[in-house]
Structure 1
Amino acid sequence: MFLFTVVLLTVLSGAGQAADGHTYRRTDPVTGQQLLCDRCPPGTRLGAHCTSSCETSCVPCGPGLYTEFWNYIPDCLRCDACSDHQRVVRPCNGTVNTVCECEAGFFWDQHFCRTHSQCKPGHGVKAAGTPHRDTMCELCADGHFADVRKMHAACVSHSACKTDEQLVMPGSRWHDNVCATCDHLTLKGLVDVFEPVLSGLHIQYGAPIERLQKLVHRRLRRKRFGKRAALRRDEGPVHETSEEVHLNLPSIVEESNLNHLADRIARIILRFQHRCNGSAPLTL
């Protein structure tokens, strides 16, 4: 295989043999005469060598074949086919080989196209991935975040609350500041306010948003009515399947980060309600 490659490259380039790029030297096997033969142009191959009485004969390359340089090779080269997750940038046309490139969302990694990496929570895109390079990520600086709900988000500054809003929950490296007005003191309003945080937790931990909401609601009830009352309300009027009950009460959840985060959100909601003087109690 190595010998064939060397011979093929020598034939294509004519190193040490050609008077110029369009000719090559050979010895006539009949007369022994040294001849200077014309090479075949790109898109063709050698049909027959020149002789003392005939010029070089060239044959066009057929479909799916090509030659890119002036040559005297006996067979045209086969056009390359794009592999998985590649697209054709330039089709093979007889004089140039197929040019392939990784499709959107992939980059070339030595032998195949790989999916662009997703930045970890708290990290944003420093340089977007290209067909030739993977995504480059960086840790978001203090006061900045990369929205974990977006696949390729860059680090941006935390948003400032509007003049009629209060800061309910400071932003982190993976979510923005949570701002609200006292008009949000309804169950639906607070769910909407914390939706980015709950969605981010869903992405990071794989827990359904409904499950996270139930964890927060239970802790609010527990802080207001006590643990036993909260559990009774969980197990009473709510019609759940056995699987949903299992998801609500396993010890693994009680020991996870979700439990701590649900407690934190519940405390934040209660403090916010307390700050809204004269507002109606939150209906759970």
Structure 2
Amino acid sequence: MLLLTTMLILGCCSGASTEPHMQTFQHEDPYSGRLLECQLCPPGTYLRKACSDDSSKSDCATCPTGSFTELWNFIPKCLRCGMCVGNRVVKKECTPSQDCVCECKQGYYFNKWLQDCTRHTECSSGYGVISKGTAEKDSKCEQCSSGFFSVEISSDAPCTPHSSCTAADKHVMLKGRTWHDVICASCAEIISRDGAEFLRQILPGFVSHDKMSVSKMRRFVKNNPPAGSSRPTHASISRLSQSDLIGRIKSWVHMATVEQIRKLPETFMKSRIIVGADKLQWRLERIDALVKLCKSKE
């Protein structure tokens, strides 16, 4: 049926012609038996009745709502308009003479290899977007260069320049990295706050950037529920994606007390996140050393 419809649209049956000056097709009159040259119906219409000995013109009718024909034709019924499903949205509505045109929805692009809409690539912490994705192309990432950083996992955020820490009374608490900004403060600020608060500032980027395995993330989330919440079950944790787990850990960091942040290296060790624990412990010792230095100057 589909092949026949296509042939009728293209005018390839019954001696039809698609030449611009010969938009006709041959039709045998059922009463006289004569072979007639009937006019094709223009785009946006369909053939309601072919010409006859009594009428030299074909009877063409406009396609009803929800259907179309794009070419000169002699089909008895218009084609049904397509639908934009899945991760596609309507770019152009269907008209009597043209099918609807779909495009990938916001945050997706058309992957030619898969012939489907795929979510834009998200740049990990330490990488920034150098070319934002569109409905036709994917986003492109590049590692942040010296003096720039990116904290979030994002498909549209570029790298950001490190903050300046040039004031005479400021100390560099932690040097900037590709995944976190420079942390600097005056001695007055350093003494007035627990050093763990400065460590908290880099933890969102640390969680995203430090390549801990999904199994270790799940262990941490299971053993460290948010304040006031019961410990989640193994089944509920196993359903969480890597992105979900990172989000859970970041939420815990945001709500954690100063004492919990200070004990985070120890907490990581209990979850067997050894490398991460060592990195955090080194940074915490660096911060505490500056606190002592500032206090000695009072």
Deviation at 1:88, TM superposition (A): 2.0
Aligned mates of 1:200, 1:12 — CA distance in 2: 64
Instruction: Kindly provide the CA deviation profile for residues 193-222 of structure 1, in whole angstroms up to 9, marking residues without a partner as x.
Output: 4443112223455333166965652489xx
Say which of 245, 252, 262 aligns to 2:271: 252
2:88 pairs with 1:86: yes
| 1:217 paired residue among 235, 258, 262 | 262
Q: Alignment partner of 2:46: what SS?
A: strand
User: Is contact 1:82–1:88 with CA below 8 Å preserved after alignment?
Assistant: yes
Percent identical among aligned pairs is 25
* 1:23 alignment counterpart: 23
TM superposition shift of 1:79: 0.6
Change (3 A) 1:268 1:216: farther
Structure 1 residue 27 displacement after superposition:
4.8
Counterpart secondary structure, 1:185? helix
Distance (whole Å) between structure 1 residues aligned to residue 14 and residue 199 of structure 2: 71
Q: CA shift at 1:251, angstroms?
A: 3.5
Alpha-carbon separation, structure 1, partners of 2:105 and 2:16 = 42
CA distance in structure 1 between the aligned counterparts of 2:91 and 2:201, rounded to whole angstroms: 39
Name the stretch that deviates more: 198-207 or 75-84. Answer: 198-207
- Does the CA-based 8 Å contact 1:91-1:98 persist in structure 2? yes
Q: How does 1:115-264 map to 2 (within 5 A)?
A: 115-148=119-152, 152-163=156-167, 164-186=169-191, 188=193, 190-204=195-209, 206=246, 207=249, 208-209=252-253, 214=259, 217-218=262-263, 248=267, 251-253=270-272, 255-264=273-282
User: How far has the Cα of 1:95 moved from its partner?
Assistant: 2.2
Bigger radius of gyration among the two = 1
Show the 5 A alignment for 1:260-271. 260-271=278-289
Question: Alpha carbon RMSD of aligned pairs, Å?
Answer: 3.4
Please name the residue that 2:45 is paired with: 44
Report SS of the residue matched to 1:7: helix
More deviation, 204-213/48-57: 204-213
Q: CA deviation at 1:31?
A: 4.8
SS of match in other structure, 1:132: coil
Q: In the aligned structure 2, how far is the partner of 1:138 from the partner of 1:108?
A: 21
Counterparts of 1:259 and 1:32 in 2: how far apart (Å)? 92
What is the rounded CA distance, in whole Å, between the counterparts of 1:269 and 1:67 in structure 2? 72
TM-score normalised by length of structure 2: 0.70
1:147 is aligned with what amino acid? V
Give structure 1 stretches of 5+ with no counterpart. Answer: 221-246
Count residues with an aligned counterpart: 252
